[in-house]
Structure 1
Amino acid sequence: MRLTAGSCSRLGATWDGRGTNFALFSANAHKVELCLFDSQGRRELERIELPERTEDVWHGYLNDVSPGQLYGYRVHGPYDPERGHRFNAHKLLLDPYAKRLFGRLVWSDAHFAYRTGSPREDLSFDRRDNARGMPKAMVIDETGGFSRHENRPGIPWEDTIIYEAHVKGLTQQREDVPPGLRGTFGGLAAPAMIDHFKRLGVTTIELLPVHALIDDRTLVEKKLVNYWGYNTISFFAPEPRYAADNPLDAFRTTVARLHDAGIEVLLDVVYNHTAEGNHLGPTLSFRGIDNASYYWLSRDNPRYYDDFTGCGSSVNLQHPRVLQMVMDSLRYWVEVCHVDGFRFDLATTLARGPNGFERNSGFFTAIRQDPVLASVKLVAEPWDLGMGGYQVGAFPSQWSEWNDRYRSAMRRYWSGEGSLIGEVSRRMTGSSDIFNHDSRMPRASINHVTVHDGFTLADLFSYNDKHNLANGEDNRDGSNDNHSNNCGHEGPTDDAAIIALRRQLRKNQIACLFLAQGVPLLLAGDEVGNSQNGNNNAYCQDNEIGWVDWRGLNSEGDDMVDFVGLMVELRKNFPQLRSRRWVDGRRADGTYGVLWLTPSAAEMTEQDWAFPDGRFLAYVISPSQPYSSAIFIVLNSGVETIPFLLPQLPEYQSWHQLFDTTKDTVQVASLASGSASSAPPRSVMAFSGAPA
């Protein structure tokens, strides 16, 4: 092969139609070798030293290398953990910019740069070659016939309704998806699934991580896997297990088909840590390429890592080349794969500096000025496990954030806890106490009751305690703070009264989710009563526990698809529920954004808000657009019926009942202003105002 210097301008393996340019960043390496493998990835065919180093990028161009070529790197440098360096050229390393992986990691002690079992632990040195058990990077043709300018649905934030799903778990047990597509990227866009999304009214699918991942050795030894996918090893390559062949094309085809149906795709991305873990973890990529650059190392002893994530180490976006990698990855998924946005796992870590979370971090600055990312949706999980890690409400105005304050308040309220009406009122009106600053809008709050992490909605009202024994950690894992209510019986029951109560409470949570200002997020399967048997941490359960159980679909007791659809339609019909502006109370000129009312239809006073053990909340939100109507919402989490009067407002002569969660159909068509009604126990009701 003819080797020339090539270019440092684009990292990774770039095929130009004639040959391939290879470029790898390492500030502390002494030498970088490119290893080419046969088509099965078993035999190393050639080892080529990259000839040039420019601004810490090692690079070379091979004119005879074309798409399909498998490769890896061996990086030479000091092995000195106490100074933060962990180079070991006996270990084949994945290219951080690999666009496609071939083969799976086969665990062995050879993947560790030190001698496992040595009393010196990671201060020892291992000379075994790990190449045979390593996945290989593959040179690809990135264009592949796909346009780089595909039209996206472009759903406005205020109209967005997010549906969080796992690629495999969503369709693995869905019988109307063709068997060959179940559990794959293709299954997401099967006609039955698109019909289901349309029936629900969701606009945006948020996928749990699809970046290529590694199954932890400890899990493999327990015959479990990293099912959720929060164990990334490659930030550019789609996970191969979700496609029979060519996962990149399979993913892009799926995105295109969802876009054709008007549905957006968000990716849950994990840039805060990698699969390499702590100082005793394997050397698979970043650690062996330049450990001191890629990770946060302890200032007291660089042998160890600053762990803000609970996963052993944290990626250091303070380093410009590491920040470049994350930005390049984000742009790649937008420009090449056409995704519509991202949800950032443990996003606080990405904005950390030497003194903690920084609102003006390099990461936020880079995102803000990037012309590609300016047009996509950005959602933060606004916390990590480090000091000062809880940052809900602190992200820039370009961002939306998972609002766990909404989740906690609504779980506590509908589990039966009293004296929460003030907290609930703030959560139902966009959480302005958290987000109303720096020109942020109500869409900053991503409201959710359940997500992948924790109980499903069915389990929230079926279990008081977690049941995680299947995870192999003696039920120690998973949160103990669930604010759940089993309604009098732990787990499944034949008691008709308990079954009915559980269904009603689920309907209440769904109703509140879509009546609340902000952006609603629905967990896949909650609309059909999906249960994880009380497991609130199914991260390793690639089986019936973690997969959506669709038996509740078309079941009288569990199917709430039509109810979700009703709530979505109601949300469309009342623009004030998806307003771009914050709602305010009674204004000086007598107008109002929201009126909080007592059961007697009087405006609430401070004394009313402090009502002991209060569980009743009623309020009117005024129209936000001409020719639209006010909406009157009534919440009663108590166990007794509460009489109330319909609002007496001069602009409305009557109120039309929209729904009552205790009834399957609306029985009262219209009530005059000031007339009497009643809120059944544990109910949500809504009315629209008819103009006078």
Structure 2
Amino acid sequence: MTQLGATVTRDGIRFAVWSSSARRLWVSIFDHAGSHETDRLELQPEGQSVHALFVSGLAAGTRYGFRADGDYAPEQGRWFDPDKLLTDPYGIEIDRPYAYHWRLAARRNEGADTASLMPKTVALALSRPMPARAPVFSPGGLIYELNVRSFTKLHPDIPEEQRGTIAALAHPVIIEHLKKLGVSAVELMPVTASIDERHLPPLGLSNTWGYNPVTFMALDPRLAPGGLAELRDAVAALREAGIGTILDLVFNHTGESDRLGPTLSLRGFDDQAYYRHQPDGRLVNDTGTGNTVACDHPVVREMVLDTLRHFVRHAGVDGFRFDLAPVLGRVDGAFDPAAPLLGAIAGDPVLADRVLIAEPWDIGPDGYQLGNFRPPFLEWNDRYRDDARRFWRGDAGMIGGLATRLAGSSDIFGKGGQPASRSVNFIAAHDGMTLADIVAYERKHNAANGEQNRDGHNDNLSWNNGAEGETDDTAIAKARFDDRCALLATLFASRGTIMLTAGDEFGRTQKGNNNAYAQENAITWLDWAGRDQALERYTSALAALRRAVPALSDTHLLTGEPAESSGIPDVAWLAETGAPLAEADWNDPTRHRLVMLLGDAGGGRLAIMVNGDRRQCVFTLPVREGFRWQPAIETQAIDLARPLPGRSVSFTTEHRIEKWQPVFGQSDAEKLVRAGPARAATGRVRDG
């Protein structure tokens, strides 16, 4: 298909859009302020439903929008209204953020022209594509999910004009923090331009998450006031530090919403083609947002591919996370792992080596597809999240579930003999309670969202140590700190790719709000000044351990078989006595203790001792002649008689006696000790 959008040349600009059912289309040209329409020029059909026009004398920086006319029958999916100014679906930059107004959703002839309410698309002359470079991130690393706006809004060391923007990600203090955590790639929650849901402005709220896009390529001016160059420069600075960038993109729905929603772009061009409809003409709602993008339509499929290529070629990003990804794989409404779009993404020459992550569920028929995407897609694993939370909440019979999740979830990702896990393990994400709130609030507290606490999940698998929200009691504070450490240690001990949401490393709280999408305020802004520095030091120590022990980040599924080179099994599961777990142990609903003994091809071993019981316990580990167990993240000699505290995870590595050296230096050990003595590794040896 011919190139769509605005193509800037030395002599002018060529405008081109696609519509299979519009009778007439125009490009509206605006002055540099975007406030006055100077020309309205009709596009001409060029075949294959493309309408285009070359306008001489125009240059980069031109503000424009489109208009379309044709049948108006919303109940049949026809919304043509020349009074609605439309954003270019291929627009790369807009001159102001979107702001919801009722006139944007007015029926034809019931509202005035919307040009004064709409951002104008800015024509850009793109530079040559960046040289192809392999992604920095590889599966098994640490993904750091962050909301650009909330991440640095309160950071005292970021210049005020940069706070809450993409540019702040390139600041040395941010890069230093990311490196301290061992971050392999940042995953940016949506940075493309979005619009508030219509119910938010009357409540005095705004959508801060950004999962309500209008088009797919244009960045939000609030997040990237410097435009595409700002994103490109931040990606380059992160790459220089060895950190990749993953964009969280929304191709499943747009902010045009249901039949009562605004007409902003795709709806006004060709609603029947861009969105899925039921036989009676009603919009399909597999997303819970009122509409569903028709990703099985050839024009939509090419637009998605063009968007991904654009961000690789012109911003250098490492990969993408796809929100409600089953929508991308729906063909005639049914999910197909071999859907044309999914196959085209994985096989595209520009995209084939990028990181691809699926959120493997939507709310449509058969919408839960965890484990059913094909390689190379990684998948968010909510089974990991739920089993880890259940174990540490103290639910009965969770020892087997925890072991399976620690080992990479072979029950989900080992289907058909697949050798590697594609799991993205996480305890908490942007959607739901923060890691700190999991152990402080048994129930959601979403009153601030203005929906009488009806929104958000009701089953959070969370608990509270003491009165909800209470922080003054020393015993309660310690119990919560220990539980947060245990959850973090479980995550960093898990085989495969792991994900940490920004601020969870230092105890961010949303005061029990588990659906804070509309809280553009201190509920979601990270409190850098008040962060829990002890928890942050502990997280850094865990990250250093994970980097030092390749068996933790390896994505190959464990077999229990010995390696040919060393004769050491890649994993052994032991009781606290040091004996292998028997079938009765696995089936014991009261068992909350476990040792995961990892071996590597070089003959080294790492013992991960999990004490989910509230009582302390002495763990016994098997020893080999010429070796000794030493704490993995402490330098002082181990006290073999000291019991492992309740509600804790400890790491111990095996070293040759004559060559033993601590894994980390004294400074790291001192940081960990200050994080809390309950984190100390321990173990008693036995012959075997």
> TM-score, normalising length from structure 1?
0.91
> What is the alpha-carbon distance in structure 1 between the residues aligned to residue 263 and residue 213 of structure 2?
14
Is 2:268 the counterpart of 1:288?
A: yes
Q: Secondary structure at the match of 2:14?
A: strand
Give the aligned partner of residue 317 of structure 2.
339
- Note the 1:21-32 alignment, pairs <5 A: 21-32=14-25
The reply to whether residue 636 of structure 1 matches residue 617 of structure 2 is: no
2:241 is aligned, of 261, 268, 281, to 261
- Residue 74 of structure 1 deviates from its aligned partner by 0.9
The 5 A counterparts of 1:586-625 are 586=561, 592-623=569-600, 625=601
SS at match of 2:415: coil
For 1:176, the equivalent position in structure 2 comes to 157
Aligned match of 2:493: 515
Specify the alignment match of 1:235 in structure 2: 216
Partner residue in 1 for 2:669: none
In the alignment, the residues of structure 1 paired with residue 314 and residue 77 of structure 2 have an alpha-carbon distance, to the nearest angstrom, of 35
- Corresponding residue SS for 2:649: strand
Q: Which amino acid aligns with 2:588?
A: F
In structure 1, C-alpha distance between the alignment counterparts of 2:314 and 2:499, rounded to whole Å: 26
How many positions carry a matched residue from both structures?
Answer: 655
Give the match's secondary structure for 2:622: coil
Matched, 1:156 2:121: no
CA RMSD of superposed structures (Å): 2.0
The 1-side partners of 2:45 and 2:81 are apart by 20
Q: Distance in 2 between matches of 1:602 and 1:168?
A: 50
Q: Distance in 1 between matches of 2:167 and 2:436?
A: 28
Counterpart selection for 1:200 from 178, 181, 190: 181
Q: How does 1:366-445 map to 2 (within 5 A)?
A: 366-437=344-415, 440=418, 442-445=420-423
Preserved CA contact (<8 Å) 1:574 1:629: no
Q: For residues 146-200 of structure 1, what are the alpha-carbon distances to aligned partners after superposition, in whole Å with 9 as ceiling and x for unaligned? A: 7612646623323x21111111111011101111211111111111111111111
1:507-563 Cα distance to aligned partner (Å, 9 max, x none): 11111111110111111011121111111111011110011111334x5xx542322
Alpha-carbon distance between aligned partners in 2 of 1:616 and 1:156, rounded to the nearest angstrom: 32
Q: Is the Cα contact below 8 Å between 2:134 and 2:353 reproduced in 1?
A: no
In the TM superposition, what is the alpha-carbon distance from 1:16 to its structure 2 partner? 2.2
**What is the rounded CA distance, in whole Å, between the counterparts of 2:59 and 2:599 in structure 1?**
63
Q: Taking structure 1 as reference, are residues 56 and 652 closer, same or farther at Cα in structure 2, changes over 3 Å only?
A: farther
Are the aligned partners of 1:34 and 1:71 in contact in 2 as well (CA < 8 Å)? yes
Residue 88 (str. 1) matches residue 81 (str. 2): yes
Change (3 A) 1:133 1:429: same
* SS class of match (2:619): strand
The 8 Å contact of residues 654 and 670 in structure 1, kept in 2 or not, is answered as no
Match of 1:654 among 628, 637, 642: 628
Q: Which residue of 2 aligns with 1:662?
A: none
Match of 1:109 in 2: 102
| Paired residues of 2:156 and 2:529 also in contact (CA < 8 A) | no
Name the CA distance, whole Å, in 2 between partners of 1:542 and 1:578. 35
Indicate conservation of the 8 Å contact 2:62/2:123, yes or no.
yes
Give the corresponding residue for 1:41. 34
1:528 and 1:560 in contact (8 A); partners too:
yes
Rounded to whole Å, the distance in 1 between the matches of 2:626 and 2:259 is 67
> SS of the residue aligned with 2:643?
strand
Please say if 1:278 is aligned against 2:261: no
Matched position secondary structure for 2:162: coil
Contact 2:409/2:421, CA 8 A, preserved across alignment: no
Is the aligned partner of 1:688 residue 2:653? yes
Tell me the secondary structure at the aligned position of residue 498 of structure 1: helix
1:120-171 Cα deviation digits (max 9, x unpaired): xxxxx5363111111111101211xx7612646623323x211111111110
CA distance in 2, matches of 1:452, 1:544: 15
What is the aligned partner in structure 1 of residue 90 from structure 2?
97
Helix, strand or coil for the counterpart of 1:374? coil
Q: Does residue 679 of structure 1 match 2:644?
A: yes
AA of the residue aligned to 1:658? A
Correspondence 1:322 to 2:308: no
- Secondary structure of the residue aligned to 2:186 is strand
Q: Which residue of 2 aligns with 1:5?
A: none
CA drift at 1:243: 3.5
Aligned AA (2:269): I
Counterpart for residue 567 of structure 1: 542
Distance of 1:421 and 1:652 partners within structure 2: 32
Instruction: Identify which of 305, 326, 330 aligns with 1:352.
Output: 330
* Structure 1 residue 651 displacement after superposition: 6.3
Q: Please say if residues 462 and 490 of structure 1, whose CA atoms lie closer than 8 Å, have aligned partners that are also in contact.
A: yes
SS in 2 for 1:132: coil
* 1:219 matches 2:183: no
d(CA) in 2 for partners of 1:81, 1:651: 78
Deviation at 1:591, TM superposition (A): 5.2
Distance 1:62 1:484 in 2: 60
Deviation at 1:612, TM superposition (A): 3.0
Residue type matched to 1:657 in 2?
P
Secondary structure (helix, strand or coil) at the match of 1:434 reads helix
Structure 1 Cα separation of the partners of residues 338 and 97 of structure 2? 39
Is the 8 Å Cα contact of residues 248 and 321 (structure 2) preserved in structure 1? yes
5+ unaligned residues in a row in structure 2: which ranges? 658-688
What corresponds to 1:72 in structure 2?
65
TM-superposed deviation, 1:455: 1.0
Q: Is the alpha carbon distance of 1:522 and 1:44 closer, same or farther for their aligned partners in structure 2, counting shifts above 3 Å?
A: same
The CA deviation string for residues 358-382 of structure 1, in whole angstroms up to 9 with x for no partner, is 1110111111220111111000100
Distance 1:651 1:439, change over 3 A: farther
8 Å CA contact retained: 2:492, 2:498: yes
Q: Does 1:454 align with 2:404?
A: no
Partner of 1:536: 514
What is the match of residue 476 of structure 2?
498
TM-score, L = length of structure 2:
0.92
Residue identity in the other structure for 2:41: I
SS in 2 for 1:217: coil
Question: Residue 308 of structure 1 is aligned with which of 283, 286, 295?
Answer: 286
Aligned partner of 2:525 in structure 1 is 547
Following superposition, the deviation at residue 416 of structure 1 comes to 2.0
C-alpha contact (below 8 Å) 1:657/1:670 kept by paired residues:
no
Distance of 1:502 and 1:521 partners within structure 2: 21
Q: Indicate the percent of aligned positions where both proteins have the same amino acid.
A: 40
What secondary structure does 1:539 align onto?
helix
Partner of residue 454 from structure 2, selected from 458, 472, 476: 476
Give yes or no for contact 1:341–1:377 (8 Å, CA) kept in 2: yes
User: Does the CA-based 8 Å contact 2:408-2:423 persist in structure 1?
Assistant: yes
Cα 1:47–1:440 shift into 2, 3 Å: farther
Distance 1:54 1:593 in 2: 60
Secondary structure of the residue that 1:317 maps to in structure 2?
coil
Q: Aligned to 2:157, what secondary structure does the other structure show? A: coil
Q: Deviations over 1:368-425 (max 9, x none)?
A: 2201111110001000011111111100111000111111011111122231000000
Cα displacement (A) at 1:306? 0.8
Spell out the pairing of 1:110-125 with structure 2 (5 A cutoff): 110-114=103-107
CA contact (8 A) 2:97 2:193 kept: no
Give the structure 1 partner of residue 442 of structure 2.
464
Q: How far did 1:439 drift?
A: 6.4
One-letter amino acid of the structure 2 residue matched with residue 201 of structure 1:
G
- Out of 129, 135, 138, the position equivalent to 2:122 is 138
Instruction: Single out whichever of 682-691 and 200-209 deviates more from structure 2.
Output: 682-691
The structure-2 alpha-carbon separation of the partners of 1:632 and 1:132, relative to structure 1 and needing over 3 Å to count, comes to: same
Mapped to 2, the partners of 1:401 and 1:670 lie a distance apart of: 41
